[in-house]
Amino acid sequence: MKEKLSNILTEAMTQIEGANSLNAMEEIRVRLLGKKSPLTEILRSMGKLSHEERKDLGREANLVRERIEEALEMKWGEVKEKAQKERFRLEKIDVTEPGVPYDLGARHLITITIDEISRIFMSMGFSVSEGPEVETVFHNFDALNAPKNHPSRDLTDTFYITEDTLLRTQTSPVQVRTIQSQQPPIKVISPGRCFRCDTPDATHSPMFHQIEGLLVDEDISMTDLKGCLDVMAKQLFGSQTKTKFRPHYFPFTEPSAEMDVSCFKCGGKGCSMCKGSGWIEILGCGMVHPHVLEVGGIDTEKFTGFAFGMGVERIAILRYGVDDIRLFYENDLRFINQFK
């Protein structure tokens, strides 16, 4: 019997050693330790033996079983690792192949630019408000102190719907609507579409966008105007940016100024972008003319304010280097897609 056990063990070791797959391992396990295995048979047949013999043989048989199990376990780990390695080898992919194409849309550059500028002013406490694109002559010109004979009122400059209504030429009428509907403190910006009779070419468009700003409160002065727009310029064009305010004329502000920023391409040394001057004109601004405040019944002795307006396309063209304003309205996806 003992000899039989020793044969079983030797035979088992050979079989385990020869196993090369997880399936084969399972088969071997059943063959060696299953109900029909020679070892089980030996254990089963022990009933016929004497107590002493049984005890002795039992111990031997269990020892053989333990050694088989141990060997099986060791071999199992080995085979499993080998099998996994093989799987990984077969499943190797080319990581340089492209990913599955998911398309992400893109907002229009006009929207992006308005959003950027709005965020800056919102961080300074300006709310955003809007007005209609078709406006009254009153809101677009009269209330803004535009002289009756101002050339901008001409049919050659402004699109008219009737004698009293037109396509707004600026976002400033929103100023008027705000002043009419609200008492100070007033702190708003209004982005929107504007229209002027310009035949489209690389630098002109009959439709364009502006952002207008208005702040009316007690003791608002020109130094505040400078401070506020200086912050805006630094946020928009970088903290190195310097600003310069040149006196100018607008009917609805007085004193009026144009603001230049130091050229963000050359830093003020002079280059093609700033036409060698080191400065780039960005916006018009000034202290709100008392006539305009009076339209809203605002006490001009107590309250003062400033207003400013800038062209969105102009800022986008400068910031992103777009070389033709018509691209904004062609809506070629190759253009829109660049500003994701």
Residues 50 to 109 in contact with other proteins, rule: CB under 8 A = 102-108
Q: Which of 16, 28, 32, 245 binds other proteins (CB under 8 A)?
A: 245
Rule CB under 8 A: choose which of 6, 21, 123, 240 binds other proteins.
123
Q: Which is nearer to other proteins, 58 or 290 (CB)?
A: 290
Neighbours of 291 (CB within 10 A): 15
239 makes contact with other proteins (CB under 8 A): no
According to CB under 8 A, which one of 11, 86, 154, 201 is a site residue for other proteins? Answer: 154
User: Closest distance between other proteins and the C-beta of residue 212, in Å?
Assistant: 15
Structure tokens that stand for 11 in this block: 């035979």
CA separation for the pair 171, 252 (Å, rounded):
12
Task: Single out the residue of 155, 239, 272, 297 in contact with other proteins (rule: CB under 8 A).
Answer: 155
Based on DSSP, count helices (H) and strands (E) in the chain, helices before strands. Answer: 12, 9
The DSSP code for 173 is: H
Residue 94 sits at φ, ψ, to 5 deg, of: -95, 105
Binding letters toward other proteins, positions 273-292, x by CB under 8 A: --------------x-xx--
Question: 211 and 118 in contact (C-beta within 8 Å)?
Answer: yes
List, as one string, the DSSP characters of 195-206. E-----SSS--S
Q: Does 254 bind other proteins (CB under 8 A)?
A: yes
CB of 114 to other proteins, least distance (A): 10
Written as one letter, the residue type at 168 is R
Q: CB–CB of 267/293 below 8 Å?
A: no
Q: In terms of Cα–Cα distance, which of 305, 248, 252, 306 is closest to 282?
A: 248
150 binds other proteins (CB under 8 A): yes
**Among positions 22, 26, 53, 249, the unique one binding other proteins when judged by CB under 8 A:** 249
Using CB under 8 A as the binding rule, whether residue 160 contacts other proteins is answered as yes
Residues 298-327 that bind other proteins (CB under 8 A): 304
* 91 three-state secondary structure: coil
Number of residues that bind other proteins (CB under 8 A): 86
- The reply on whether position 220 binds other proteins by CB under 8 A is yes
- Residue 18 within binding range of other proteins, rule CB under 8 A: no
In whole angstroms, how close is the CB of 123 to other proteins at the nearest point? Answer: 7
Are residues 165 and 92 in contact, defined by beta-carbon separation less than 8 angstroms? Answer: no
Contact with other proteins (CB under 8 A) among 38, 58, 255, 267? 255
* Omega within 30 of 0 (cis) for the link into 151: no
Provide the pairing of β-strand 127-128 with 186-195. Answer: parallel
The residue within the footprint of other proteins, chosen from 31, 54, 244, 319 (CB under 8 A), is 244
